[in-house]
């Protein structure tokens, strides 16, 4: 069974660093890229970036370039999203999602979401 399992909820203070994870199972991890989507409470969905797990090539949405870093560890079948310094505006639910670029296999499995709360 294909699963993307994300790390648990986080509560951080402004200026702290943060790294959340997404572990894939039930499929060949390097056959799919992993993307990250932000959802601010009560609002819509925004693409942040994707990482091609086979070679760790990355693409960032201009809105998030320089503000977050995506990475992956093939030995752990995991992808990561990290911040050097979180701000209150980073409070949101973050989802990971997989894709292969084929259309049919894109966005078919999502993680359960990681809620990040940033508050002083």
Partner 1 sequence: DVVLTQSPLSLPVTLGQPASISCRSSQSLLYSDGNTYLNWFQQRPGQSPRRLIYLVSNRDSGVPDRFSGSGSGADFTLKISRVEAEDVGIYYCMQDTHWPWTFGQGTKVEIK
Smallest separation, CB 47 to partner 1 (Å): 5
Smallest separation, CB 33 to partner 1 (Å): 11
Closest to partner 1 by CB, 45 vs 88, is: 45
Closest CA to 22 of 60, 46, 49, 40: 49
- In angstroms, the Cα distances linking 36 to 6, 119, 120 are 11, 22, 25
Closest to partner 1 by CB, 73 vs 106, is: 106
Closest to partner 1 by CB, 6 vs 77, is: 6
Closest to partner 1 by CB, 48 vs 86, is: 48
Given the rule CB under 8 A, which residues bind partner 1? 37, 44-47, 59, 61-63, 95, 99, 103-104, 106-108, 110-113
Smallest separation, CB 120 to partner 1 (Å): 27
CB-based contacts of 75, cutoff 8 Å, min separation 6: none
| Phi and psi at residue 9, to the nearest 5° | -60, 150
Closest CA to 114 of 24, 19, 48: 19
Smallest separation, CB 49 to partner 1 (Å): 9
């Amino acid at each position: 069974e294909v699963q993307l399992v994300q790390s648990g909820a986080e509560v951080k203070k402004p200026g702290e660093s943060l790294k959340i994870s997404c572990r894939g199972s039930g499929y060949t991890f390097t056959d799919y890229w992993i993307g990250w989507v932000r959802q601010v409470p009560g609002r819509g969905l925004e693409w942040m970036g994707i990482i091609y797990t086979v070679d760790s090539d990355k693409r960032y949405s201009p809105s998030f370039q320089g503000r977050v870093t995506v990475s992956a560890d093939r030995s752990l079948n995991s992808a990561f999203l990290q911040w050097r310094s979180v701000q209150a505006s980073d409070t949101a639910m973050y989802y990971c999602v997989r894709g292969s670029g084929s259309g049919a296999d894109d966005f078919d499995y999502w993680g359960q979401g990681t809620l990040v709360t940033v508050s002083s």
